[in-house]
């Protein structure tokens, strides 16, 4: 399908802008990109550092026929699309930290925030706003304190590679829309699973305020993480209920 792109120099948050359009009846396929966000948001109410010119900050309006439980497929397929796009533009490897953070060299390079609204009539999504933030080049002043140790950029230079940034954004959208066309067939699942950082490795599962050591063993068809605890018990974890440390 045809996407309709709109590019801003600065905006508080592309997710917020697309949510407003969604609520006023805008059709699927609208994409807002911005050179900078002044109130970029991440998951769990955290801010998303979005300095001018060095990243891709974009949000896509979707109206998928998915239940709330299936909406995980949007985020995980987007993570796979970002991973493939970064690899083809940079020639370097990427990894995915379950559920949807894309990593390079052990640090986060992309975050994804899906905000969805459920229709009370049929229990399906009325809309979903898929927000993607990628650090493309190093901000001139570097990453601020607290991010330096955990964030990285696709390119380690602080040049503004505008042509590469455009190519990367286009590749992300193209890969994602290919997946989106047949999303419930999980066309992205093997690319997603291959890049999961923690498979076969020890993780700490944080659930109901309790921490337990486990080994991550698989990603199932619904993108749940299967873990085995030290006593041999196995459990499938959904993204909303737990966080893991790798």
Q: How far, in Å, CA of 170 to CA of 218, rounded?
A: 31
The contact pattern for ligand BTN, residues 162-201, with x = CB under 6 A and - = no contact, is ----------------------------------------
Q: Across-strand partners of 190?
A: none
Instruction: Tell the smallest beta-carbon distance from residue 54 to ligand BTN (Å).
Output: 13
For helices 162-181 and 72-90, angle between their N-to-C axes, nearest 10 degrees: 140
Range 4-43, binding ligand BTN (CB under 6 A) = 13-15, 37, 40-43
Tokens (6 digits) for 8: 């801003």
Name the token pair of 233: 């018990």
58 or 86: CB nearest ligand BTN: 58
Q: Which is nearer to ligand BTN, 64 or 111 (CB)?
A: 111
**Closer CB to ligand BTN, 174 or 215, in the complex:** 174
Residues contacting ligand BTN: total by CB under 6 A? 19
Nearer to ligand BTN, 42 or 187 (CB): 42
**Edge-first strand listing for the sheet containing 55-62:** 4-8, 30-34, 55-62, 125-135, 107-118, 101-104, 95-97
Residue 162 · residue 138 · CB < 8 Å = no
Site for ligand BTN contains 131 (CB under 6 A): yes
Give the helix/strand (H/E) hosting 96.
strand 95-97
Listed residue (32, 31, 22) closest to 1, CA to CA: 31
CB distance 222 to 206 below 8 Å? no
Q: Are 111 and 48 in contact (CB under 8 A)?
A: yes
The partner residues of 210 in beta bridges, in order of sequence, read 207
Per the CB < 8 A criterion, the answer to whether 61 and 21 are in contact is: yes
37 is in an annotated binding site: yes
How near is the Cβ of 15 to ligand BTN at its closest, in Å?
Answer: 4
The minimum distance between CB 109 and ligand BTN, in angstroms, equals: 10
Taking the complex as a whole, how short is the minimal distance between the CB of residue 108 and ligand BTN, in angstroms?
Answer: 7
> Which residues in the 67-126 window bind ligand BTN by CB under 6 A?
111-113
Q: Which stretch binds ligand BTN (CB under 6 A): 51-59, 89-97, 160-168, 227-235?
A: 51-59
**Sequence ranges of the binding site for biotin:** 13-15, 37, 41-43, 108
**Sequence ranges of the binding site:** 13-15, 37, 41-43, 108
Which residues lie near ligand BTN (CB under 6 A)?
Answer: 13-15, 37, 40-43, 46, 48, 57-59, 111-113, 131-133
């Amino acid at each position: 399908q045809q996407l309709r792109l709109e590019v801003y120099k600065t905006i508080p948050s592309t997710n917020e802008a697309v949510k407003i359009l969604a609520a006023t009846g805008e059709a699927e396929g609208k994409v807002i990109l911005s050179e900078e966000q002044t109130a970029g948001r991440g998951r769990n109410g955290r801010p998303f550092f979005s300095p001018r010119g060095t990243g891709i900050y974009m949000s896509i309006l979707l109206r998928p026929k998915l239940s709330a439980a299936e909406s995980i497929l949007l985020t995980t397929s987007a993570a796979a699309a970002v991973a493939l796009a970064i690899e083809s533009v940079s020639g370097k490897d990427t990894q995915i930290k379950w559920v949807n953070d894309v990593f390079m060299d052990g640090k986060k390079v992309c975050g994804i925030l899906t905000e969805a609204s459920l229709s009370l009539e049929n229990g399906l999504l009325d809309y979903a706003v898929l927000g993607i933030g990628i650090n493309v080049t190093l901000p001139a002043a570097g990453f601020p304190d607290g991010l330096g140790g955990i964030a990285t950029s696709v390119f380690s230079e602080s040049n503004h590679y505008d042509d590469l940034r455009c190519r990367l954004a286009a590749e992300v959208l193209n890969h994602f829309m290919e997946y989106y066309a047949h999303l419930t067939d999980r066309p992205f699942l093997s690319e997603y699973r291959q890049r999961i950082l923690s498979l076969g490795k020890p993780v700490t599962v944080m659930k109901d305020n309790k921490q337990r050591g486990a080994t991550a063993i698989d990603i199932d068809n619904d993108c749940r993480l299967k873990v085995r605890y030290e006593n041999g018990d196995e459990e499938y974890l959904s993204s909303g209920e737990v966080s893991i440390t790798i």
